[in-house]
Structure 1
Amino acid sequence: MLQEQELIEATQDHGFALKLMELLVIPTFVLDLNGKVLIWNRACERLTGVQAAEVLGTDEHWRCFYDLPRPTLADLVVQGRGAEVHRLYDQHVKRGDDGNNSLTAENWCDMPRLGRRRYIAADASPICGNDGGIVAVVQTLRDLTDEKKAQIALEQLATRDGLTGLANRRCFDQTLQAEWHRALRQQQPLSLLMVDVDNFKQYNDAYGHLGGDECLQRIAGAVSSEMRANDLVARYGGEEFAVILPNQSLKGAAIVAERIRCRVEQLQLPNLGTAKQFVTVSIGAATALPAVENEANQLVLTADTALYRAKHMGRNRISLTNEAQA
């Protein structure tokens, strides 16, 4: 009650400013030092679908943004927990050098009342009384959902193959370098599979390019189905796929490769242009325990060599860097 009275006294000569805050087109709410809502303007009602009467005088404003309890940016400022912003928000900035730092952050919000997630940018700043002490915290909000979705779409265009939805060559190259460096730091093995569709030219000749596209999509799905969460499947080029297997031994890579080979064979995609009658893949596997920087390309060359060996041995099979290690 004392904090609320201090806020009133601090703003008693600024009634117009308070009215302006209420009418702002920018969604805005104000918390007292107990974390209870003092102001919830009309723009905030429109953004959240929650009327001011439902939250004024309560500390339940988090329910307007999230399904589970968690602090808003204003709560972090009120509670002096600005250091936690990095853990709770996707993007964040601390502003100010004193103990009452303002905060700027962005993240996805559940928006339970509206039933749809929104990407919200927020700014939270302290309101100070005549003596310089904090009497409340104001938070403003911006709905950046459309911009965020556009950004995600652009990022996907830059890293995804348009036909299969897998990672593209650019994403593969970047990920392989990153995984190489991580394997070097952690002294863990890094395995790579190169997967090539057998006799794909004959398939295209028999079924046309649209049929070939559908074939690649089906195979992409089959390869992806055998992956762990931290593995990466990429369309390396044409009818060739690459699979990065972090912290995987050659023996483990061979097991994954054989599962992929069997999964593609089980699709029973007809290929009348070949003696085997169905579409198959050949796979080359290689493993390295990185010892020096920037040698990831050698892993690709080694896996490629193993792939060519599988082709020369009759296709529809896997070949390892060192057959004795299988």
Structure 2
Amino acid sequence: MHNVQPLPVPAQAPRRYAFDVLELLVIPAFVLDAQGRVSMWNRACEHLTGVLAHEVLGTRDAWRSFYQHARPTLADLVLQRRTGEVAALYDDHQRPGGGDANLSAQSWCDMPRSGRRRYLAADVSPILDGDGAVVAVVETLRDMTAEKQAQIALEQLATKDGLTGLANRRCFDDTLHAEWQRALRQGQPLSLLMVDVDNFKQYNDAYGHVGGDACLQRIAGAVASEMRTNDLVARYGGEEFAVILPNQSLKGAAIVAERIRCRVERLQLPNLGVGKQYVTVSIGAATALAAPDTDPAHLVATADAALYRAKHMGRNRISLTLEEVVAAR
């Protein structure tokens, strides 16, 4: 049996040999020289970006293959010693092994040529000469779009109500806390609506749980249709919904509440369980001015109390309570 000896790397051309290896990799990779020009763009990179090597070699336009608007690639940042900007440009980044030479980062890329937005993970390694100076930078890429989309889907499942598609209680609690802190910083009012379906037990008794679920879905759509971009509507629990209205006065909250009440009434969902009436909602509204020594739980309690009054007063109506909490002077 003969021993198989590895072919020697030509001593006079180690860099050319390395480039040939990169060219044959199934992993997308490109190389920038010391002047930031593309000196290698392998076939896998062509396949990923839709940009052929001859279109980009010798240019400083590697970024055009990934973004609609000018911005540096990760390799550019390393080459130009601008790694302090990585956090602002990428969703996530790290230095593998804790070293200073290599850098990894992830972000969404526009991919102008292919027209398909992709989530790419980039790994960058500088090539040094005998004196330690950077003569080139290698960037390899991994398409992690499927993994990212799966992560987003899981996150949405964790924050959305399975029946209505609205935000769930956990998302409501987190958002209310964040909006309370924002209102505190900016000195703006924060309003909250608590919306409850009237006589829902009788509706469930008359139509069954399947009918009740369909009713809640219709009402959820009606409530959500009245929201602004920054508002949040959540299923608070059972047949109760909560609406967070950032930077909204009590007067504005009352207008939104009345629009919601009317829209639900216009659905004309018959409730045979209560004398052939239509399904309606009662709404409690509260507005607060956040202060350092307060928390949003008081706003929830105030809106709940207003909702109870609306129920007590005959249902299918709104009840308002202004709760201004100001810092002690």
Q: Same fold (TM over 0.5)?
A: yes
SS of the residue corresponding to residue 122 of structure 1 reads: strand
Over residues 261-308 of structure 1, what are the superposed CA-to-partner deviations in whole Å (9 max), with x where a residue is unaligned?
122222222323334732211100111222244632121111111101
Over residues 189-247 of structure 1, what are the superposed CA-to-partner deviations in whole Å (9 max), with x where a residue is unaligned?
22111001112122223333222222211211221122222221110011100011122
Question: TM-score, length-normalised on structure 1?
Answer: 0.87
Matched-pair contact (CA < 8 Å) for 1:82–1:94: no
Q: Which runs of 5+ in 2 are unaligned?
A: 1-10, 324-329
CA distance in 2, matches of 1:182, 1:269: 38
Q: CA RMSD in A?
A: 2.5
Alignment of 1:181-192 (within 5 A): 181-192=181-192
Q: CA deviation at 1:95?
A: 7.8
Alignment of 1:91-240 (within 5 A): 91-93=92-94, 102-240=102-240
CA distance in 1, matches of 2:314, 2:129: 82
Correspondence for 2:248: 248
CA distance in 2, matches of 1:212, 1:70: 52
Matched-pair contact (CA < 8 Å) for 1:82–1:101: no
SS of the residue corresponding to residue 123 of structure 2 reads: strand
Matched-pair contact (CA < 8 Å) for 2:287–2:322: no
Letter in 2 for 1:63: R
Question: TM-score, length-normalised on structure 2?
Answer: 0.86
Q: Which runs of 5+ in 1 are unaligned?
A: 1-9
Letter in 2 for 1:20: V
Over residues 49-105 of structure 1, what are the superposed CA-to-partner deviations in whole Å (9 max), with x where a residue is unaligned?
33323322223332322233332111222333322222222223468999x965422
CA distance in 1, matches of 2:275, 2:12: 86
Q: Does 1:257 align with 2:261?
A: no
CA distance in 2, matches of 1:126, 1:32: 10
Matched-pair contact (CA < 8 Å) for 2:288–2:322: no
Deviates more, 1:155-164 or 1:44-53: 44-53
CA distance in 1, matches of 2:282, 2:35: 66
How many residues end up aligned between the 2 structures? 313
SS of the residue corresponding to residue 311 of structure 1 reads: helix
Correspondence for 1:7: none
Q: Does 1:38 align with 2:39?
A: yes
Letter in 1 for 2:167: A
- Aligned-residue sequence identity (percent) comes to 74
Matched-pair contact (CA < 8 Å) for 2:280–2:316: yes
Deviates more, 1:248-257 or 1:69-78: 69-78
Letter in 2 for 1:154: L
Matched-pair contact (CA < 8 Å) for 1:95–1:101: no
Over residues 142-195 of structure 1, what are the superposed CA-to-partner deviations in whole Å (9 max), with x where a residue is unaligned?
111121112111111111101111111111112222222332333322211100
Runs of 4+ displaced beyond 6 Å: 94-98
Correspondence for 2:73: 72
